[in-house]
Amino acid sequence: MLDIQLLRSNPAQVAERLATRGASLDVAAFQALEDERKGLQVRTQDLQARRNALSKQIGQLKAKGEDTAAAMQEVAGLGDELKRNEEALADLLNRINAFVSVIPNLPHESVPVGQSEADNVEVSRWGTARAFAFAVKDHVDLGEALGGIDFDAATKISGARFTLMKGAVARLHRALAQFMLDTHTQEHGYTEVYAPYLVNGNSLFGTGQLPKFHEDLFHIKDDGYFLIPTAEVPVTNIVRDEIVDLAQMPLKFVCHTPCFRREAGSYGKDTRGMIRQHQFDKVELVRIETPEHSWAALEELTRHAEIILEKLELPYRRVALCTGDMGFSAAKTYDLEVWLPAQNTYREISSCSHFDAFQARRMQARFRNEKSKPELAHTLNGSGLAVGRTLVAVLENYQRADGSIDVPVALRPYMAGLELIEKA
């Protein structure tokens, strides 16, 4: 949610900045709502003040046993208009709220301006793509040949965009998650969190998935729950409606969860393999920061994600998303893209974002500042990393000519020392 004060005082400038990310703000519509609000609110509050004063007076008169008829008569005269005004105001505030709720965040000044993925800016590169002396296979061929991935079974059991893993590949998947959790907790200072996979609508509003992106979510209608599309939702909402003591800031959480996405609108995209699934595992980093430190924290968090790739010796690059390619709530986002030899390209494996106070304002997540006044926190999160896609990257980058897979050195302790995954 944008700061309503900013929107009121400078709608044109807000519209201009939103335009850089391809979002249009109907300034005239907003101002019409605001003009109406102003008059209605002042009138309603005047009436309420008069009613309160009269009611108080009636109380005092009755206490003294005096006649209240005159006051009663005046207050009765207010009733109708007051009720109408209150209803109209409540309705109007709802409409304003709905209007503001679907406005995306403003891009940070450092974000490159652009319209689409094509305008994203590569920031850095790490590692070099391995030269293969044979024709590389993709993870689907590799996994199926190893007997470790069974897409047919997953399709039978559930449907399209699901994966079933077995044996050493399933274990590799688990090893990756464990490795990431251990690295972030032991080396990067994050607190491990186990969180619900079903959340309520308020949590999804807080992080910005609702009300606008309902169609991307799995909704358990019988109970009102939604399956989480990312651990960002339950973990960031830890601080919803909370005021964190300054001494406890910043909060750094890491959480491994499955993520569930309907992938509405991505028909025909990445249909092969496990790149784009309805269910996938992710290790998520979440930070609750003070505004002073939050921008440094984004760099740090992104580094923490990069270190996972470096420990796994997977070549990657860091990309600064342009204004037009960022998510709804983000002020700035870095994507990490891992090298996939079978696709001969880099593919997104992590997304690290800074939301400034946008999410915090939606969920009233605050900290007590130096003056011991509550102040909106800044929230950040990033994948560290998407486990399924990391598995894909390991299979493809570590493949041998015979289709077996070398286990990355960093993962061997998590694989009981196994060095090579061969056909089961």
Partner RNA sequence: GGAGAGAUGGCCGAGUGGUCGAAGGCGCUCCCCUGCUAAGGGAGUAUAUGGGCUUAAACUCGUAUCGAGGGUUCGAAUCCCUCUCUCUCCGCCA
> Could you tell me the smallest distance in angstroms from the CB atom of residue 244 to RNA?
11
H-type alpha helices, 23-108: 27-63, 69-101
Report how far residue 414's alpha carbon sits from residue 172's, in angstroms, rounded to the nearest whole number. 8
DSSP letters along 151-187, please? HHHHHHHT-TT---B-HHHHHHHHHHHHHHHHHHHHT
Candidates 25-33, 58-66, 133-141, 402-410; binding stretch for RNA (CB under 7 A)? 58-66
Structure tokens that stand for 63 in this block: 């206490």
> Could you tell me the smallest distance in angstroms from the CB atom of residue 63 to RNA?
4
Report how far residue 165's alpha carbon sits from residue 169's, in angstroms, rounded to the nearest whole number. 6
Report how far residue 201's alpha carbon sits from residue 318's, in angstroms, rounded to the nearest whole number. 33
Q: Identify the active-site residue in 8, 43, 50, 276.
A: 276
Our CB check for RNA shows the closer of 82 and 386 to be: 82
Interface pick for RNA out of 6, 26, 29, 60 (rule CB under 7 A): 60
Q: Identify the active-site residue in 43, 348, 404, 412.
A: 348
Interface pick for RNA out of 35, 46, 91, 192 (rule CB under 7 A): 46
**Is 348 marked active-site?**
yes
Instruction: Give the Cα-Cα-Cα angle 324, 302, 347 (nearest 5 degrees).
Output: 60
* Residue 56 lies near RNA (rule: CB under 7 A): yes
* Residue 301 lies near RNA (rule: CB under 7 A): no
**Is 351 marked active-site?**
yes
Candidates 1-9, 139-147, 212-220, 311-319; binding stretch for RNA (CB under 7 A)? 1-9
Candidates 213-221, 351-359, 372-380, 382-390; binding stretch for RNA (CB under 7 A)? 372-380
> Could you tell me the smallest distance in angstroms from the CB atom of residue 37 to RNA?
8
The CA-to-CA distance between both ends of the chain, in Å, stands at: 52
Q: Identify the active-site residue in 294, 329, 350, 351.
A: 351
**Is 261 marked active-site?**
yes
Site track for RNA across 90-129, x = CB under 7 A: x---------------------------------------
DSSP letters along 369-411, please? -TTS-EEE-EEEEEEEEEHHHHHHHHHHHTB-TTS-EEPPGGG
* Residue 42 lies near RNA (rule: CB under 7 A): yes
Q: Is 22 left (phi over 0), alpha (psi -120 to 50) or beta?
A: left
* Residue 10 lies near RNA (rule: CB under 7 A): no
Site track for RNA across 72-91, x = CB under 7 A: x--xx--x----------x-
Q: How many residues bind RNA (CB under 7 A)?
A: 30
Contact 169, 274 (CB under 8 A): no
Q: What is the largest CA-CA distance in the chain?
A: 103
Say which residues have a Cβ less than 8 Å from residue 341's Cβ, sequence separation at least 6.
129, 130, 132, 136, 396, 397
* Residue 29 lies near RNA (rule: CB under 7 A): no
Q: What helix, strand, coil percent values describe the chain, rounded to 5?
A: 45, 20, 35
**Is 276 marked active-site?**
yes
Interface pick for RNA out of 6, 29, 62, 113 (rule CB under 7 A): 62
Report how far residue 116's alpha carbon sits from residue 277's, in angstroms, rounded to the nearest whole number. 23
Interface pick for RNA out of 12, 24, 28, 63 (rule CB under 7 A): 63
Q: Identify the active-site residue in 171, 261, 347, 361.
A: 261
Q: Which residues form the catalytic set?
A: 261, 276, 348, 351, 389
Residues at the contact surface with RNA, assessed by CB under 7 A: 4-5, 8, 38, 41-42, 45-46, 48-49, 51-56, 58-60, 62-63, 72, 75-76, 79, 90, 243, 372-374
